[in-house]
Structure 1
Amino acid sequence: MRSCVTLVFFFIWLCCFGNLTVMCYKIPQAKLEILQNGFRVSIPHETGIENVAFNINRNRPFKGFEPGEFSGRIRTQAANQWFFESQRHLQDDDIIYVWTDVQYNKSRYRSMSSPITVRQTTPGGPSQHSNEVQPAFTTERSRVTSEEPLITSKKPPIIGEECESSLTTIRNRNICKGQLIFEENFDGTELDSSRWRYEVRLPLDVADAEFVLYDTNAELINGVLKIEPRLWGNDSPDTNIRRGHLNLGTRCTANQNPQVECQRQPFGQVVLPPVLSARINTKHAFTFKYGRVEVRAKLPQGDWLFPLLLLEPLVNFYGQHPYASGQMRIAFIRSNLNLRTREGVEEGGRVLHGGAVLSSEANTRDTFMANTSQDQHFGETFHIYSLTWNDRQLSLDVDGKNYGTVDGGFAQKANGYNNAWANSNYMAPFDQEFFLTLGVAAGGHGDFSDDYVSKPWANTSPKAALNFWRNRQSWKSTWTSPALQVDYVRVYAI
């Protein structure tokens, strides 16, 4: 045993002081800087580095060491840095993923950096030929920035006698228990862009993509947010979703794949989105971990519609696979006036669901959601929907009455979904910061099981959206009150 220990110490001495220095090089975390005409990713120079290659993805984690959306090999260092620059302008809510390849003393090293969140910053920075270096953004894992959290109530007192510490954090900052940390009453005539951003995009073509185009068609009327879906071309007689070309151009807010989310050319079984709707979020302005969310809303009524009252992950920390990082539903209904399974179970707008979504499969969508029912459609009037999220469970309420809880431990209960959860804490993947999303969707491959009577499309069919559209004469008359109406949104620390 003593001889083994001696060998270990001898190896360490060689690594640090002898001829095995090459074995000790560790690639540092990549640094992101916003420039006046794009962005820069860099690492510091060290004696021995011969060249460096950067591979960079925007809003899409790497599965391995594959080529990035942006990439380049740098042969010379400048200003004691190795850096790659692009003229691509980043959005303040983009997530940047980087892996770096370094040739150091004739050996090659590869390393994944932690995700980097682009935050709001004053435009401007060094040009490609400048040696000036701007302060870098911190990594998403630490989420420490110079921005103040968006807290819409009075400034909290110092934690102590006047302030009880809570589970809730905003960008790693603790908040006083019970404090109102976000409030939106939708006053005025336009959305407050400092809090909310429209998503202008097609749903990414994954297993549960909705049959919609999300655009800017939301309204504020008398202090109420109104998102009302409508048919493509208002269903005019000459409307044909199999012809034409859709290109959202610079308005597109694609999250992962601009080629899919920003444009569509109908061909064969591929059609334009049958429904136009809206979807807004606070990703750029307000994110938090643990708290109580309260939404007073009137949910949509109409066959094959459903509301989006969601908490979504700021970063796909547990991977890019759909729902690997989870989604929480504050309130969810299938807005059909009448909807039954082939076994006769009622699943329409009189049944309210809330909780976690961890699968894109329609037949397992409700596995981690609680539910309750009433005689009247939940879209008939306003209700107060609440989700309380802590480090042990999700708790669901409607009009102040609890209707269920969803306990954590998803790594054990949902074995096979994502092994990474098992290496984190009890609430994984719901142990990161999330943001608010509001909207209305229609159809899709993941929220309506093929077991529902009179469903006009099959989830696995490549003609699903087309068959949904062809059947519109049977369902568009049910859209008597298809809008989601939201009176207010409030978030409290717990």
Structure 2
Amino acid sequence: MEGQGHAHYRGSGTSGTSTTITKPRSGTPESNRRRGDPFNDDISPAPRGDQLGTPIASRPASSFGSSFGLRGASSIFFHSRRVKKGEVDQPWRSKKDPKEKWVTIIPILGLLIGFGIAAFLIYDGISSVVHHKYCPVLNDDFSEGLNTDVWTKEAEVGGFSNGEFEQTTLTDENIYVQNGKLIIKPTLQDVSLLETNTVINLTRDGTCSSSVLTDCVSVTNTTTGTIIQPVKSGRINTKKGAKIKYGRVQVTAKLPSGDWLWPAIWMLPVNDTYGPWPASGEIDIIESRGNNYTYSQGGNDIVSSALHWGPNPANDAWWRTNVKRKALHTTYAKTEHTFGMEWSQKYIFTWVDSNLLQVLYTNFDEPLWKRGAFPQADSNGTTIVDPWTQTGRKSTPFDQEFYLILNVAVGGTNSWFEDGKDGKPWVDYAPMAKKDFWNTRDTWYPTWEAEGAGQMEVSKVEIWQQCDGDENL
């Protein structure tokens, strides 16, 4: 027949004769099936023949087992097709566990409660703060030099109750304005005044800033070994031209670097209304040490703020109101910083660069006399009298006019530099403390000499008075 061909295949029949098989027309279903297309879909490949044994087509179907026929090839070859949406059952979606909703509800409730608490705390904080009105008192950038109507230089040799080693002078050697900045610079004393019998008496020309004789007179005695102050420096105040009772202060300055230097920005009362220091109070906006960051008490990478208050020097409660702040990856002697203070009837707080970077916060929520828990008598049996409660104000003694002071002190015998630490070259209560310090000048003075290192540089001072007119706010 046209289109047909013949193939001869020698089977395994008993007759041993050849069998002629008619080859169906190519492309027909029958031909596909006879070729080995068990699924009749023109997709699945035909089974490969046994390369070493009897061809699959010549083996009887019974040799594959009862479950395997010509279409039984599916047990060996897999028919692959794409799974369509909805063809696979997902029984877990048919019914949800009612507890699943809490997996979402609980975190949302937690967030809502957290936001609610935060909102309450913010509201409570804002509502408790009195937003005072401030009136400017001083805004000095030193562009016109040192205004003597505001600033007063102090001259003393008594060590300012701290046993400091500097003589403060009225000369331009230690306090001057340069390139629009106020400079306070410590320098060495005249060697001749330290090596020969000398008397410094500041009362003779009326320049002494104190009425206490020991603050105005100093002596070098080569026989006893005592010497005058071995260093000169500067201390300047606004008592004459800028004082406030409640308000704000901001001083932009770069602190000095150098061993045993003691820079400070602070305030004292105009009058000793409640008695001599510290009964009438002291506000230390910041003070620091010129030693480098390795100094164990904290060098020029740390500033501290404190309030001094108490019935007498032996009962100064400063340690209850004292906080330090460390500079972040720098020092306060490397660049300028703004040191601030805000003072009201209800609180005093200080900061560095921003009022968000708070250093000290003291809340006058109870009378300071009660907070101090002072003893009833001194160690010598003297009765201690409460000088503050009579006012009825919780902030007393911080309820009077104060003025600003800027200075760079040197050394001292009040433990600001602790004995026996970091190579301190003197002992506080030694009679020759000043001389011991002077004799080691070859080690500490070089640390002051790098360009601008040993001096405080002040570029701006701002003072505001609280002027809302209600002292009870």
Structure 1 466/327 Cα, relative in aligned 2: closer, same or farther at 3 Å? same
Aligned to 1:218: 175
User: How far apart are the structure 2 equivalents of 1:185 and 1:324?
Assistant: 33
Asked if 1:180 is matched to 2:136, the reply is yes
User: How far apart are the structure 1 equivalents of 2:423 and 2:321?
Assistant: 26
| Superposition RMSD in Å | 2.8
Correspondent of 1:384 among 311, 324, 338: 338
User: How far apart are the structure 1 equivalents of 2:281 and 2:177?
Assistant: 30
Aligned to 1:337: 292
Correspondent of 1:467 among 398, 415, 436: 436
Structure 1 residues 346-385: aligned runs within 5 Å: 346-358=297-309, 366-374=319-327, 375-385=329-339
Q: Which has the higher contact order (CA 8 A, sep 6+)?
A: 2
Structure 1 378/276 Cα, relative in aligned 2: closer, same or farther at 3 Å? same
Residue 412 of structure 1 aligns to a residue in which SS? helix
Letter in 2 for 1:368: T
Structure 1 413/449 Cα, relative in aligned 2: closer, same or farther at 3 Å? farther
Residue 181 of structure 1 deviates from its aligned partner by 2.1
Aligned to 1:423: 390
Residue 434 of structure 1 deviates from its aligned partner by 0.5
Structure 1 209/242 Cα, relative in aligned 2: closer, same or farther at 3 Å? farther
User: How far apart are the structure 2 equivalents of 1:363 and 1:179?
Assistant: 32
Letter in 1 for 2:307: A
Matched-pair contact (CA < 8 Å) for 2:266–2:283: yes
Aligned to 2:61: none
User: How far apart are the structure 2 equivalents of 1:228 and 1:361?
Assistant: 32
Structure 1 residues 20-169: aligned runs within 5 Å: none
Matched-pair contact (CA < 8 Å) for 1:241–1:272: no
Higher Cα radius of gyration: 2
Aligned to 2:427: 458
Structure holding more helix per residue: 2
What is the percentage of aligned positions where both structures have the same residue?
A: 27
Residue 445 of structure 2 aligns to a residue in which SS? helix
Residue 179 of structure 1 aligns to a residue in which SS? strand
Matched-pair contact (CA < 8 Å) for 1:167–1:390: no
Matched-pair contact (CA < 8 Å) for 2:309–2:316: no
Matched-pair contact (CA < 8 Å) for 2:245–2:465: no
User: How far apart are the structure 1 equivalents of 2:291 and 2:322?
Assistant: 19
Letter in 2 for 1:430: F
Unaligned runs of 5+ in 2: 1-128, 375-383, 467-473
Structure 1 266/410 Cα, relative in aligned 2: closer, same or farther at 3 Å? farther
Aligned to 1:161: none
Correspondent of 2:281 among 291, 304, 326: 326
Q: Residue by residue, what CA displacement relative to the aligned partner does 1:165-217 show, whole Å, maximum 9, x if unpaired?
A: x999xxxxxxx81322221111224x2111111111223663x2311111123
Q: Residue by residue, what CA displacement relative to the aligned partner does 1:258-279 show, whole Å, maximum 9, x if unpaired?
A: x222222223253210110111
Matched-pair contact (CA < 8 Å) for 1:363–1:449: no
Correspondent of 1:413 among 362, 366, 371: 371
Unaligned runs of 5+ in 1: 1-165, 169-175
Residue 222 of structure 1 deviates from its aligned partner by 1.8
Aligned to 1:396: 350
**TM-score normalised by structure 1 residue count:** 0.58
Residue 339 of structure 1 deviates from its aligned partner by 5.2
Q: Residue by residue, what CA displacement relative to the aligned partner does 1:40-87 show, whole Å, maximum 9, x if unpaired?
A: xxxxxxxxxxxxxxxxxxxxxxxxxxxxxxxxxxxxxxxxxxxxxxxx
Deviates more, 1:362-371 or 1:444-453: 362-371
Residue 250 of structure 1 aligns to a residue in which SS? coil
Matched-pair contact (CA < 8 Å) for 1:355–1:394: no
Aligned length: 311
Structure 1 251/198 Cα, relative in aligned 2: closer, same or farther at 3 Å? farther
Aligned to 1:279: 235
Letter in 2 for 1:461: A
Residue 409 of structure 2 aligns to a residue in which SS? strand
Q: Residue by residue, what CA displacement relative to the aligned partner does 1:352-392 show, whole Å, maximum 9, x if unpaired?
A: 11131347579976542221102322111100110111122
Structure 1 351/387 Cα, relative in aligned 2: closer, same or farther at 3 Å? same
Matched-pair contact (CA < 8 Å) for 1:212–1:275: yes
Correspondent of 1:289 among 233, 239, 245: 245
Aligned to 1:145: none
Asked if 1:492 is matched to 2:460, the reply is no
**TM-score normalised by structure 2 residue count:** 0.60
Matched-pair contact (CA < 8 Å) for 1:242–1:270: no
Letter in 2 for 1:435: Y
Residue 470 of structure 1 deviates from its aligned partner by 1.7
Asked if 1:247 is matched to 2:201, the reply is yes
Correspondent of 2:151 among 191, 196, 203: 196
User: How far apart are the structure 2 equivalents of 1:476 and 1:418?
Assistant: 45
Structure 1 204/429 Cα, relative in aligned 2: closer, same or farther at 3 Å? farther
Matched-pair contact (CA < 8 Å) for 2:289–2:300: yes
User: How far apart are the structure 2 equivalents of 1:468 and 1:271?
Assistant: 11
Residue 405 of structure 1 deviates from its aligned partner by 0.9
Structure 1 280/405 Cα, relative in aligned 2: closer, same or farther at 3 Å? same
Structure holding more strand per residue: 1
Residue 453 of structure 1 deviates from its aligned partner by 2.9
Residue 271 of structure 2 aligns to a residue in which SS? coil
Structure 1 364/339 Cα, relative in aligned 2: closer, same or farther at 3 Å? farther
Matched-pair contact (CA < 8 Å) for 1:281–1:436: yes
Residue 419 of structure 1 aligns to a residue in which SS? coil
Structure 1 209/361 Cα, relative in aligned 2: closer, same or farther at 3 Å? farther
Matched-pair contact (CA < 8 Å) for 1:200–1:251: no
Structure 1 311/264 Cα, relative in aligned 2: closer, same or farther at 3 Å? same
Q: Residue by residue, what CA displacement relative to the aligned partner does 1:420-444 show, whole Å, maximum 9, x if unpaired?
A: 1343321222111101111111111
Letter in 1 for 2:335: T
Matched-pair contact (CA < 8 Å) for 1:339–1:452: no
Asked if 1:441 is matched to 2:397, the reply is no
User: How far apart are the structure 2 equivalents of 1:275 and 1:392?
Assistant: 41
Q: Residue by residue, what CA displacement relative to the aligned partner does 1:280-336 show, whole Å, maximum 9, x if unpaired?
A: 11212222111110000001111111113111110111212x322221112211121
Matched-pair contact (CA < 8 Å) for 1:355–1:369: yes
User: How far apart are the structure 1 equivalents of 2:385 and 2:455?
Assistant: 35
Asked if 1:315 is matched to 2:271, the reply is yes
Structure 1 354/418 Cα, relative in aligned 2: closer, same or farther at 3 Å? farther
Residue 412 of structure 1 deviates from its aligned partner by 2.6
